[in-house]
Homo-oligomer: A and B are copies of this chain.
Amino acid sequence: MGEANAERGENALIRRLEALLGGRGVSVPFGDDMAELLSGPPPLLGTVDTITDGVDFLSAEHAWRDIGYKAMAVNVSDCAAMAVRPEAALIAVVLDNRLSMDDAMALLAGIKECADAFGCALAGGDTNSWDQPTAISITIVGRPEPGQAPVRRDGARPGDLIFVSGPCGGSLLERHLHPRPRVELALALNRRLAPRAMIDISDGVAIDLSRVCAASGCGAVLAAERVEAAIHDDARRRAAKTGQPALEHMLHDGEDFELIVVLPTDVDRAACSELGLLPLGRMVTGRGLRLERAGRDVGEIAPRGWEHFQ
Pair B124/A35 contact, Cβ less than 8 Å? yes
Given contacts A44-B44, A141-B44, contact A127 B10 (CB under 8 A): yes
Pair B139/A46 contact, Cβ less than 8 Å? yes
Pair B123/A35 contact, Cβ less than 8 Å? yes
Contact pick for A135, options B14, B90, B121, B135, CB 8 Å: B135
> How far is A9 from B98 in the complex, measured between Cα atoms in Å?
11
Q: Nearest chain B CB to A240's CB is how many angstroms away?
A: 34
Q: Nearest chain B CB to A308's CB is how many angstroms away?
A: 11
Q: Nearest chain-B residue to A133 (Cβ)? A: B132
Pair B46/A123 contact, Cβ less than 8 Å? yes
Pair A125/B17 contact, Cβ less than 8 Å? yes
> How far is A54 from B129 in the complex, measured between Cα atoms in Å?
11
> How far is A139 from B48 in the complex, measured between Cα atoms in Å?
9
Q: Nearest chain B CB to A49's CB is how many angstroms away?
A: 5
> Is A24 at the interface (CB under 8 A from chain B)?
yes
Inter-chain contacts of A35 with B (CB < 8 A): 88, 90, 123-125
Inter-chain contacts of A47 with B (CB < 8 A): 90, 124
Which residue, A21, A26, A52, has most C-beta atoms of chain B within 10 A?
Answer: A21
Contact pick for A129, options B10, B105, B131, B139, CB 8 Å: B10
Q: Nearest chain B CB to A219's CB is how many angstroms away?
A: 27
Inter-chain contacts of A20 with B (CB < 8 A): 105, 108-109, 112, 122
Contact pick for A55, options B91, B126, B128, CB 8 Å: B128
Q: Nearest chain-B residue to A56 (Cβ)? A: B128
Q: Interface range on chain A: under 10, 10 to 19, 20 to 34, or 35 or more?
A: 35 or more
Pair B48/A94 contact, Cβ less than 8 Å? no
> How far is A141 from B143 in the complex, measured between Cα atoms in Å?
14
Pair A123/B2 contact, Cβ less than 8 Å? no
Given contacts A2-B129, A48-B137, A133-B132, contact A123 B37 (CB under 8 A): yes
> How far is A16 from B102 in the complex, measured between Cα atoms in Å?
11
Inter-chain contacts of A10 with B (CB < 8 A): 127-129
> Is A87 at the interface (CB under 8 A from chain B)?
yes
Given contacts A48-B137, A122-B21, contact A97 B127 (CB under 8 A): no
Pair A16/B105 contact, Cβ less than 8 Å? yes
Q: Nearest chain B CB to A100's CB is how many angstroms away?
A: 8
Pair A129/B1 contact, Cβ less than 8 Å? yes
Q: Nearest chain-B residue to A22 (Cβ)? A: B122
Which are the 4 A-B pairs with shortest beta-carbon distances?
A: A35-B124, A1-B129, A37-B88, A35-B123
Given contacts A50-B126, A52-B94, A130-B133, 4 further A-B contacts (CB under 8 A): A12-B101, A44-B44, A50-B93, A135-B137
